[in-house]
Structure 1
Amino acid sequence: MTVTPLSYCTNVHPAEDLDGVLAQLDRYAEPVRRLVGTDVLGLGLWLPAALAAGLADDPALRAKLRTELDARGLEVHTLNAFPYGGFHDEVVKHSVYRPQWTDQRRLEYTLDCATVLADLLPDGARYGSISTLPLAWRTPWDDADDAAAMRALTELTAVLDGMASRDGRPIRLAVEPEPGCVLDSVADAVRWLAPRVDPRYVGLCLDTCHLAVSFADPAETVAEIHRAGLSVVKVQASAALQVEEPASEAAQQALADFTEPRYLHQVRERTEDGVVLGADDLPQARTELPALRTWRVHFHVPLHARPAAPLSATTDVLRAAVAALASTVDELPHVEVETYTWSVLPETAGNGGDTALIRGIAAELRWAAAQLLGQDGGVR
């Protein structure tokens, strides 16, 4: 029986160089593996651009990283190449969308990640995946930007095709739609990608927090992707914050605890007639949205722990999306738990030092194994 690769994304940990990444393995990843109780644990590795370039230029360094992973019972099927660097700066916000896909640096970073991943993939891996941003933040963007992004993706595809011929298995790019971006929703991504890309090497990263925030139907979304001849290369298993009565004083007080300066937390509200209204961050939502119906907030919350009332989480969307995939494809794509927000969760929900973080990540992985993959005995 094929085992779906299940990983947790290391963008939850701050590190900008190889020493920092190796320290993460000892401080967090190996303790998570032991706590989960598995011989081998998957990591969705995040490598900042400078580190990816250094590894890509030095086969000995790549071999060292592979050896260090193997020694700790860790394996890598997927890389997260959405953040270019500085993902734990005091303020990230819109900078996470730069450089965009019109910038040569984005292409070079992604090519470096492909080179690294090819040497990290387990021997039995079917393919490797690299998730990336949905082209750019929505403004400014014009036809010339469209053309530049397409040229970059065409160049990337040619390199990936050569690598697949050499190695016998593909590295695939997973474009991750996100509210507020050029490819705001999966529907936007399908319309843009389907006529332009080679689906052997470019597909979708289905981030289920983003999917929930867009108010798209999970089953119809999966069907739409496959009707267009594309595929889900990677699932980022994530849940959004949900607020049933956003105008209430209790809800606004609860949301105040999630209003923080580091990351962007887009908010969407679907009106009675189905129109989805948006605000680019939680502070703006209070003045820009009518707050008459449910809000969904781009704030990744732990999969296993329901937020305190009057808030909730969109884990039902995550379950439905994976179930739809399971009924559509013969083998599920990579599944990566991506709750990068532990450091900015309200104190009662997420902080408490290394022990709390390790326990939280382990609990998420157990939840995902049981609830999404039907692996009641554990992660593997």
Structure 2
Amino acid sequence: MRLRHHSGRVVHLSHGTHERPARDLPAVVEHLDAYAAVRDRLAVETLGVSLWLPPTLAAALAIDGRSRTRLRAEIAARGLEIVTLSGAPWAEGGDEDPVTPDWSEPARLEYTLDLARILTDLMPEDAVRGAVTTIGLGPRAGWDAAKQKASARILSRLSAGLAEVAWHTGRAVRVGFQPEPGFVLDRAEAIVEAFGRLDRERLGVSLDLAHLACTWQGPVAVLDQLAAAGIAVIRARIAAALEAVDPIASAEALRGYVEPGHPRPVTNPAGDQAADLAEALRDFPPGPWRVRCHIPLHTPPAPPLTATTEVWQAALRHLTGGAHPGTEYLAVESSAGGAGAEIAYLMGFLGELGLSPPAEACAAH
């Protein structure tokens, strides 16, 4: 979905779902049918979507031009468009490798470049660039000097690989690293330090605004620090985290958000972290807490719990309020059933910020 910024530039809004990744091309097409139903409910001509393709499927598509051509035709036939692909998660269950490589391992490089090659064939005719998202280098625990050295070599190969993709296709793909608590890229200071050694032309950050809230740093201050260091916000995912001002008084309500098998990390302003909400409810670190559990933008949790709405709204105001948009890509993720209402709510807020409705947006340049 294309929106026009007051500068005349286009900002792309893409929708993703919580569905499990498609394991083969027919399953991808089924997902596209679900997105088309959302487009119909919203009554828009074109809906931007962000797909997550697991590594085995990405590797197959990257070498099969006919399958990419078919997939592009299926996307266009449903009134959808793709300018970003998600490479932040990894495989989920089944016969996929359960190990999640970080950016010190070649497997992460191969996966990301596969996605970049696929994306150049899936983008609309008038699009000259796109983006792939990925993890914030890797978990901070165990990230030693050897991993840092290996990562530096692999990230240099990533830049070279992206340059090669652009040379062969005439389309640029940038990679956005997603900061989050517990990863090498977490707080703004760590991001700025890491990018002092990285290619800032092709690499940037992909901010999840719920993850940003869980760092307890002010969104405007973070965005200003990144801008001052010349670090591009390639994509911003609009999301709210769960917040408990008084965790002890909110314990019963918080237990309703515990989901076995789906860890929901908890942070507080002092920098304490719990790997999962269930763990935090056993140990009760000092409050307040923020929980990495995405809350629907249009439906706040029942009191005494709240959502980090002020964080994502402040970030969007800052990203859209300048002479030029602070990011080219926005994304929102929701369940397929609730997507229409959530996107409609978000579109209303973006309209208040001066972003034109899709029918008024010009083609991307």
- Whether TM exceeds 0.5 here: the answer is yes
**Runs of 5+ unmatched residues, structure 2:** 1-7, 360-365
Aligned match for 1:133, one of 116, 132, 135: 135
Q: Confirm whether residue 30 of structure 1 aligns to residue 36 of structure 2.
A: yes
| Aligned mates of 1:53, 1:190 — CA distance in 2 | 32
| Aligned mates of 1:130, 1:377 — CA distance in 2 | 25
Aligned match for 2:304, one of 302, 310, 313: 310
Partner residue, 1:2: 9
| Aligned mates of 1:34, 1:58 — CA distance in 2 | 31
Aligned match for 1:85, one of 67, 88, 91: 91
Q: Please say if residues 369 and 379 of structure 1, whose CA atoms lie closer than 8 Å, have aligned partners that are also in contact.
A: no
Describe the shift of the 1:314–1:126 C-alpha distance in structure 2 as closer, same or farther (beyond 3 A): farther
| Aligned mates of 1:167, 1:130 — CA distance in 2 | 16
| Aligned mates of 2:106, 2:175 — CA distance in 1 | 16
Q: Please say if residues 136 and 181 of structure 1, whose CA atoms lie closer than 8 Å, have aligned partners that are also in contact.
A: yes
Q: Confirm whether residue 165 of structure 1 aligns to residue 160 of structure 2.
A: no
| Aligned mates of 1:289, 1:205 — CA distance in 2 | 31
Deviations 1:257-302 (A, max 9, x none): 11012322111111xxxx32221110121244433x3211000111
Q: Confirm whether residue 338 of structure 1 aligns to residue 333 of structure 2.
A: yes
Q: Secondary structure at the match of 1:4?
A: strand
| Aligned mates of 2:84, 2:169 — CA distance in 1 | 16
Q: Secondary structure at the match of 1:178?
A: coil
Structure 2 counterpart of 1:85, which letter? Answer: A
Structure 2 counterpart of 1:312, which letter? Answer: T
1:1-380 alignment runs, 5 A limit: 1-26=8-33, 28-86=34-92, 89=93, 98-193=100-195, 195-248=196-249, 251-270=250-269, 275-291=270-286, 293-328=287-322, 330-331=324-325, 332-339=327-334, 342=335, 357-358=336-337, 360-374=338-352
**Runs of 5+ unmatched residues, structure 1:** 343-356
Deviations 1:173-200 (A, max 9, x none): 000011112222343222212x111111
Structure 2 counterpart of 1:185, which letter? Answer: R
Structure 2 counterpart of 1:73, which letter? Answer: G
Describe the shift of the 1:369–1:13 C-alpha distance in structure 2 as closer, same or farther (beyond 3 A): farther
Q: Secondary structure at the match of 2:15?
A: strand
| Aligned mates of 1:25, 1:361 — CA distance in 2 | 14
Structure 2 counterpart of 1:265, which letter? Answer: R
Deviations 1:17-48 (A, max 9, x none): 2111111111x101000001111000011111
Q: CA RMSD in A?
A: 2.1
**What is the deviation of 1:373?**
5.0
| Aligned mates of 2:45, 2:128 — CA distance in 1 | 20
| Aligned mates of 2:56, 2:16 — CA distance in 1 | 19
Q: Please say if residues 6 and 379 of structure 1, whose CA atoms lie closer than 8 Å, have aligned partners that are also in contact.
A: no
Identity of aligned residues (%): 36
Q: Please say if residues 141 and 182 of structure 2, whose CA atoms lie closer than 8 Å, have aligned partners that are also in contact.
A: no
**What is the deviation of 1:11?**
4.8
Q: Please say if residues 10 and 328 of structure 2, whose CA atoms lie closer than 8 Å, have aligned partners that are also in contact.
A: no
Describe the shift of the 1:104–1:377 C-alpha distance in structure 2 as closer, same or farther (beyond 3 A): closer
- TM-score normalised by structure 1 residue count: 0.86
